A and B are shown apart, each in its own frame.
Chain A
Amino acid sequence: MNNPNSSNRKIVILGNGIAGVTCARHVRKKDDKADITIVSGETEHFFSRTALMYIYMGHMKYEHTKPYEDWFWEKNRIDLKHAWVGNVDFENKQLLFQDGATLAYDILVLATGSKPNKFGWPGQEFKGVQGLYSYQDLELMEQNTQNIKRAVVVGGGLIGIEMAEMLASREIPVTFLVREKNFWDNILPLEEAQLINRHILEHHIDLRLETELEEIIGEDSGKVKSIKTKTGEIIDCQFVGLTVGVSPNIGFLKNSGLETNRGIVVDGFFRTNLQGVYAIGDCAEFKEAPASDRKNIEQVWYTGRMHGETLAYNLTTSNAVPYQPGIWFNSAKFLDIEYQTYGQVPAIWSDETESFYWEDKSGKICIRLLYSKKDKEIMGVNAFGWRLRHAFFDKAISEGWSLEKVLSHLNQASFNPEFSKPFHKEVLAKYNRESGKALETYKASFFKKLIGSRS
């Protein structure tokens, strides 16, 4: 690896998203001398991409989405360059900007993120048809959704439902096309997917399951006027959101000598095929998946942050470590229902795995625990409408707690606000009913409850 902390080496980070910014911050913490520059064409300052929807919905303004105040960068001597890179000249170690300027580097960290997929549908170039990834996309969406009568969102994933929620918040009628049988059912088990189906309908969003887009139809003026589904149905609309996943944003790096596949190919140390060039975040593709239960491309906020942390560590030490993610976790919010997951809960599990599922009468709260049939060790948990303690499940899963141990400690695992209705008793009662056992919840004394002690 590079000789750490040696001199004022020039570290250039392309991309000011969570991956690039985390890397820059952690390098600066350990290395006082390095000359750090973050480049991005999107916005001058780091903002939270995950908060884009809240700007549209009027919960926040752009400035609220910036995790650091503007003085932060100068104080930490992190230079910001707000411009688009057209090309990288890897041979001469410099970035070539679209406006003709150049920037030399000793170490280059590519953290260029993703771009929305477009699958070559007829009519996808009409005005009013767009994806949602960047700040510019958001501005475009603002323009494209002025005074419209109906919008169609294509693609039943996380960004799709966010977009549907955004539009619904402005009282724009939304038709939501989902190819699968149930919402996000390639990730969610049936009951959970159906729970969200119901909730989407409850919000008066016109959810169309098992419905695929055939083509987008425009007016002569070039504006979208309707879409046609695979079954031939025509739906009039003035806006089409395409949210069918994202791909690494590496178009401008093709044929530059950098090894790419779907993303920028890296090893477990985020090294590309070129000396001194690394890739992290959404745009990186591991040659080998970092763990058996992990994908080669990780496109979530948390992994971007971990990539950044780990690479920064490696850039400032002589004992580089490979990237080794721990227990998987993720979360989302589907309209009003929060979702958290820890460990592995695939949509369909093998015969060696069993599931315990509880759903509240309201049909809006549920928990699923997957465990191995053989030794009853828990493997993962899904919770909807029920906040769970990350530290609890990180420990329970990595230590291989049994299902029963987890169930009898569920009261401690809950992270719901104080005075919330406790669900752990109902869950346990269901388990006892089904298993014929008489498991009990670990109990706290009245005094401990009064002072709110957990231990």
Chain B
Amino acid sequence: MKNIQKVGAAIFVLGFLIFSILPFIGTYQLGKTIVEANVKDIHRETMVDIMSPMYGKVYDSNFAFIKDFKQYFNTYNDQLKSNQEWDKVIWDNYAFDLTKASSLGPVANNPYFYLGISVLVAVIGALLYILPLYRSEPEGIKNNGIFFSSMKAKGFLGILTGTYLILFYIVLYWFPEYMTNLVIAVDPISMALSGNPASQWFLYGLIYTLAIFVMGIRMFRKYRGNKYQTLRTASVMFFQLSFAFILPEILVLFNQPWHDFKNIWPLDYSFFYDYRMEGMLSSGALGMFMLIWGIILIVLGVPLLTYFYGKRWYCSWVCGCGGLAETLGDPYRQLSDKTVKSWKIERYLIHGVLVFAVLMTALTIGNYFSGFSFLGDATNQLHSIYGFAIGSAFAGVIGTGFYPLMGNRVWCRFGCPLAAYLGMVQRFKSRFRITTNGGQCISCGNCSTYCEMGIDVRWYAQRGQNIVRSSCVGCGVCSAVCPRGVLKLENGDEEGRINDMPIIIGNKSITIKS
């Protein structure tokens, strides 16, 4: 490691530590006006009342503040629940908004400064580390030492990173009130973009986009000379920044519903939820366009583009989850499990999620058009189960938190219902395949090892067979790392795409069909 890289790594760790400590500094004070401003009209009177013991009291930490808040709030609700007065219970969660509004600083007084010393410092450190990578070396992919690395081969650093990510997601999804300082730090950016204060989701989107950019630059360094890798990395960076991050905020600025035009149902599982439908239907021509565009993507976009190019057009060129996996997750791609057993589990899980998503959506739409006479509130229950189990726990906590433990595509491989849909098209009606170059395979195993989807590429390659698998996201890394030039991702005629009985070229004595 060059000295500048060591400095970069140190700066990154510093920024990262500040980012992690930031939520726990500062003082909090709740006031009547804050409550009035941050709760719904119907709860205003009650909430002002419930929270009155906290007014004027200065808390030294968010823990103490949130503890008191929860105590008063829960006491009120528990009382009602035990009396079975369900309609009076306050189901809304005001912890995040009230904690955020009660913050006295210092972050609130100087958000740019705190954003700078945490996120910006980490980004600068990371870039100082990344930019000199492979500087003095000839072009070529260097996987040297990956399996000796504590970070990349499930050593102490890997487990530590995994644990951190898991905790981060748990806080983000279920206890965002503990990270309000971080959200406050990005408030000005959010105000500038959408005219609204930041939520934890804005913070998340910002960090997510930065991660894709910084680690995308690492991809450019690592896969120098491989244009396919460079282009698709640039592509996910572009789609994340424009479609997923900036455009939706601008829509909000113009009082339109937040919408990510490249997200497709059923990955975008709430697309047909009543509030989204109503949002789109009540937003004039643009809203109508959102609805129609979304449906076109589902019924035409996916099958057509996948027919011509394979599911890679989405999974490793456009998708946000894929974008993070291919950039932030790239150092962990070798950790995916290649066994036939995990392939079996994969098929059950991913199709299970697909069925769940389709059924839930069918019921939702049915219910919506029946004016809720069909199932009433029951679909909401379904939504919260799906949102909790699949949308948050699976896609977030496991999907990203497990990068350093199970590889970078855990969600895409085992959970994503859109991947399941794309995969079916890819497997049964597509021009995409990975061609095996005759008899050139030496069974070395680099392809399988570096396949993030856990596909045992070698199994096919060494038999001279093309790789046609529903899960292949077309990242192209198997082809890039093959030392014998055996694999080529390509779109071609359907005839001869699936060669179950391949003939290995080179032996004229017999024509082996294996």
Q: Is the CB of A199 within 8 A of B138?
A: yes
Q: Does A135 have its Cβ within 8 Å of any Cβ on chain B?
A: no
Inter-chain CA distance A358–B137, complex, in Å, is 25
Of A48, A203, A418, the residue contacting B443 (CB under 8 A) is A48
Q: With contacts A309-B512, A417-B227, A452-B492 known, is A336 near B138, CB below 8 A?
A: yes
**CB contact list, A258-288 vs B, under 8 A:** none
Q: Does B135 have its Cβ within 8 Å of any Cβ on chain A?
A: no
Q: Does A169 have its Cβ within 8 Å of any Cβ on chain B?
A: yes
In the complex, which residues of chain B have a beta carbon less than 8 angstroms from the beta carbon of A59?
143-144, 146-147, 446, 449
Q: CB-CB contacts of B482-498 with A at 8 A, as 1s and 0s?
A: 01110011111100000
**Which of A60-68, A208-216, A223-231, A349-357 lines the interface with chain B?**
A60-68
Q: Is the CB of A50 within 8 A of B140?
A: no
**Which of B119-127, B197-205, B376-384, B434-442 lines the interface with chain A?**
B434-442
Find the B residue at minimum CB distance from A342. B438
Q: Does A321 have its Cβ within 8 Å of any Cβ on chain B?
A: yes
Q: Is the CB of B508 within 8 A of A326?
A: yes
**Which of A86-94, A249-257, A388-396, A432-440 lines the interface with chain B?**
A388-396
Q: Is the CB of B446 within 8 A of A313?
A: no
**CB contact list, A184-229 vs B, under 8 A:** 199, 202-203
Find the B residue at minimum CB distance from A66. B445
How far is the CB of B138 from the nearest CB of chain A, in Å? 5
**Which of A114-122, A327-335, A399-407 lines the interface with chain B?**
A327-335
In the complex, which residues of chain A have a beta carbon less than 8 angstroms from the beta carbon of B509?
306, 309-310, 313, 321-325
**CB contact list, B291-314 vs A, under 8 A:** 308-309
Q: Is the CB of B462 within 8 A of A67?
A: yes
How far is the CB of A385 from the nearest CB of chain B, in Å? 10
Inter-chain CA distance A202–B509, complex, in Å, is 43
In the complex, which residues of chain A have a beta carbon less than 8 angstroms from the beta carbon of B228?
417-420
Of B146, B448, B492, B514, the residue contacting A454 (CB under 8 A) is B492
Find the B residue at minimum CB distance from A340. B485
How far is the CB of B450 from the nearest CB of chain A, in Å? 8
Q: Is the CB of B445 within 8 A of A203?
A: no
Q: CB-CB contacts of A46-77 with B at 8 A, as 1s and 0s?
A: 00101100100111110011110100000000
Q: Is the CB of B490 within 8 A of A321?
A: no
In the complex, which residues of chain A have a beta carbon less than 8 angstroms from the beta carbon of B435?
415
Q: Does B174 have its Cβ within 8 Å of any Cβ on chain A?
A: no
> Which has the most chain B C-beta neighbours within 10 Å: A29, A325, A394, A418?
A418
In the complex, which residues of chain A have a beta carbon less than 8 angstroms from the beta carbon of B339?
69
Q: Is the CB of A340 within 8 A of B445?
A: no
Interface size class of B (residues with CB under 8 A): 35 or more
Q: With contacts A321-B510, A325-B506 known, is A415 near B488, CB below 8 A?
A: yes
Q: Does A101 have its Cβ within 8 Å of any Cβ on chain B?
A: no
Q: Does B284 have its Cβ within 8 Å of any Cβ on chain A?
A: no
Find the B residue at minimum CB distance from A389. B437
Inter-chain CA distance A313–B511, complex, in Å, is 10
Find the B residue at minimum CB distance from A291. B508
Q: Is the CB of B490 within 8 A of A333?
A: no
Q: Is the CB of B227 within 8 A of A421?
A: yes
Of A313, A329, A333, A389, the residue contacting B510 (CB under 8 A) is A313
Q: Does A428 have its Cβ within 8 Å of any Cβ on chain B?
A: no
Inter-chain CA distance A54–B148, complex, in Å, is 12
In the complex, which residues of chain A have a beta carbon less than 8 angstroms from the beta carbon of B309?
452
In the complex, which residues of chain B have a beta carbon less than 8 angstroms from the beta carbon of A417?
226-228, 476, 479-480, 488-489
How far is the CB of B472 from the nearest CB of chain A, in Å? 15
Interface size on A, residues (CB 8 A): 62
Of B140, B446, B493, the residue contacting A453 (CB under 8 A) is B493
Q: Does A236 have its Cβ within 8 Å of any Cβ on chain B?
A: no
In the complex, which residues of chain B have a beta carbon less than 8 angstroms from the beta carbon of A415?
435, 437, 485, 488
Q: Is the CB of B438 within 8 A of A50?
A: no
> Which has the most chain A C-beta neighbours within 10 Å: B148, B435, B444, B510?
B444
Find the B residue at minimum CB distance from A311. B509
Inter-chain CA distance A417–B434, complex, in Å, is 11
Q: With contacts A325-B506, A420-B227, A451-B431 known, is A331 near B440, CB below 8 A?
A: yes
Q: Is the CB of B147 within 8 A of A61?
A: yes
How far is the CB of A416 from the nearest CB of chain B, in Å? 8
Q: Does A338 have its Cβ within 8 Å of any Cβ on chain B?
A: yes
Q: Is the CB of A390 within 8 A of B439?
A: yes
Q: Is the CB of B442 within 8 A of A50?
A: yes
Q: With contacts A65-B445, A309-B512, A326-B505 known, is A58 near B138, CB below 8 A?
A: no
Find the B residue at minimum CB distance from A331. B484
Q: Is the CB of B227 within 8 A of A203?
A: no
Q: With contacts A309-B510, A415-B485 known, is A301 near B147, CB below 8 A?
A: no
In the complex, which residues of chain A have a beta carbon less than 8 angstroms from the beta carbon of B483?
333, 338
How far is the CB of A161 from the nearest CB of chain B, in Å? 12
Find the B residue at minimum CB distance from A21. B443
Q: CB-CB contacts of B124-165 with A at 8 A, as 1s and 0s?
A: 000000000000011110011111110000000000000000
**CB contact list, A290-346 vs B, under 8 A:** 301-302, 305-306, 309-310, 313, 321-327, 329, 331-333, 335-336, 338, 340
Q: With contacts A18-B443, A306-B507 known, is A58 near B340, CB below 8 A?
A: no
> Which has the most chain A C-beta neighbours within 10 Å: B448, B484, B485, B488?
B485
Q: Does B231 have its Cβ within 8 Å of any Cβ on chain A?
A: yes
Find the A residue at minimum CB distance from B136. A204
Q: Does B409 have its Cβ within 8 Å of any Cβ on chain A?
A: no
Q: Does B413 have its Cβ within 8 Å of any Cβ on chain A?
A: no
Inter-chain CA distance A19–B485, complex, in Å, is 22
In the complex, which residues of chain B have a beta carbon less than 8 angstroms from the beta carbon of A340?
440, 484-485
Inter-chain CA distance A454–B494, complex, in Å, is 11
In the complex, which residues of chain B have a beta carbon less than 8 angstroms from the beta carbon of A391?
437-438, 505
Inter-chain CA distance A65–B338, complex, in Å, is 12
Q: Is the CB of B144 within 8 A of A69?
A: no
In the complex, which residues of chain A have a beta carbon less than 8 angstroms from the beta carbon of B226?
417
Inter-chain CA distance A18–B394, complex, in Å, is 41
In the complex, which residues of chain B have a beta carbon less than 8 angstroms from the beta carbon of A25?
514
In the complex, which residues of chain B have a beta carbon less than 8 angstroms from the beta carbon of A452?
308-309, 431, 490-492
Find the A residue at minimum CB distance from B488. A415
In the complex, which residues of chain A have a beta carbon less than 8 angstroms from the beta carbon of B505?
326-327, 329, 390-391, 394
Q: Is the CB of A338 within 8 A of B437?
A: no
Inter-chain CA distance A324–B309, complex, in Å, is 39
In the complex, which residues of chain A have a beta carbon less than 8 angstroms from the beta carbon of B218?
none
In the complex, which residues of chain A have a beta carbon less than 8 angstroms from the beta carbon of B507?
306, 309-310, 324-326
> Which has the most chain B C-beta neighbours within 10 Å: A18, A61, A388?
A61
How far is the CB of B124 from the nearest CB of chain A, in Å? 28
In the complex, which residues of chain A have a beta carbon less than 8 angstroms from the beta carbon of B333?
none
Q: With contacts A387-B485, A415-B437, A421-B227 known, is A60 near B446, CB below 8 A?
A: yes
In the complex, which residues of chain B have a beta carbon less than 8 angstroms from the beta carbon of A54?
444-446
Find the A residue at minimum CB distance from B442. A50
In the complex, which residues of chain B have a beta carbon less than 8 angstroms from the beta carbon of A179?
none
Q: Is the CB of B445 within 8 A of A418?
A: no
Q: Does B427 have its Cβ within 8 Å of any Cβ on chain A?
A: no
Q: Is the CB of B340 within 8 A of A69?
A: yes
Other than the given A325-B509, A415-B485, 9 more pairs (CB < 8 A) read A48-B443, A48-B445, A60-B449, A309-B512, A331-B484, A335-B140, A336-B138, A340-B485, A455-B492
Please report A residues at the B interface, Cβ cutoff 8 Å: 18, 25-26, 29, 48, 50-51, 54, 57-61, 64-67, 69, 169, 199, 202-203, 301-302, 305-306, 309-310, 313, 321-327, 329, 331-333, 335-336, 338, 340, 387-391, 394, 415-421, 451-455
22 contacts between A and B (CB under 8 A): A51-B443, A54-B445, A61-B147, A64-B445, A65-B444, A66-B445, A67-B443, A306-B506, A313-B510, A325-B506, A325-B509, A326-B508, A327-B505, A327-B506, A331-B484, A333-B483, A387-B488, A390-B437, A394-B505, A417-B228, A417-B479, A453-B491
